[in-house]
Chain A
Amino acid sequence: QVQLVESGGGVVQPGGSLRLSCAAAGFTLSGYGMHWVRQAPGKGLEWVAFIRNDGNKNYYADSVKGRFTISRDNSRNTLYLQMSSLSTDDTAVYYCAKDFGQATGHFDYWGQGTLVTVSS
């Protein structure tokens, strides 16, 4: 069965950096686009970033463009999100989510999430 397991969350100071990982199992990662979606405490869902199955196309939300970088290592079945210049507005649970296909824009499986807290 499909499993997505995020890690790397924690507490970081404003202006700091953090790298999240998402380990994928139960499907061939190289066949699917992947996304990061976040949810601030008590708030709704916000799409953050996408990477195509081959890693050659990325998209970002305006709120993170220039600060976050999505990447993947299909040989390690792992998705990443490098976050820098973090602010308190980036405090959220970060979910990795599998695209329905290579780039459909719907999410058929989600990880359990990892909490990022930006605080001094």
Chain B
Amino acid sequence: EIVLTQSPATLSLSPGQRATLSCRASQSIRSYLAWYQQKPGQAPRLLIYDASNRASGIPARFSGSGSATDFTLTISSLEPEDFAVYYCQQRSNWPPITFGQGTRLEI
């Protein structure tokens, strides 16, 4: 099973700042990584798939990069609605599909 480790666990920033979230895989997953945003009481929402492709309707301030074992989600300038929990997820050689433990982005 591929283990995804996200860092940091919590990131405290202010609106307008740049956010950088990391996800490390226990073995190479090529570019088969997605990022999801989850707000309290809501379902997750797909932001990025296959490491760097923005999902439909996702603002350009969200970008993803990386390959093999190291991946990054960058939010270029935080908006108030961006404060949420972010999960990475891999689909390399599944099943199983696995998720990281999440990064909480807080004000």
Check B91 against A45 for contact (C-beta < 8 Å): no
Partner of B91, one of A95, A105, A108, A112: A105
Q: How far is the CB of A56 from chain B (nearest CB, A)?
A: 16
Q: Are B95 and A100 in contact (CB under 8 A)?
A: no
Q: How large is the interface on A (under 10, 10 to 19, 20 to 34, 35 or more residues)?
A: 20 to 34
Whether the Cβ atoms of B91 and A110 lie closer than 8 Å is: no
CA gap between A61 and B38 in the complex, in Å = 22
Contact residues of B between 82 and 97, Cβ < 8 Å to A: 87, 89, 91, 94-97
Instruction: Mark B residues whose CB is within 8 Å of A.
Output: 32, 34, 36, 38, 42-46, 49-50, 55-56, 87, 89, 91, 94-102
Q: Give the B-binding residues of A (Cβ under 8 A).
A: 35, 44-47, 50, 59-62, 95, 100, 104-113
Among all A-B residue pairs, the 9 with the closest Cβ atoms: A105-B91, A110-B43, A47-B97, A59-B95, A45-B99, A106-B34, A105-B94, A106-B49, A44-B102
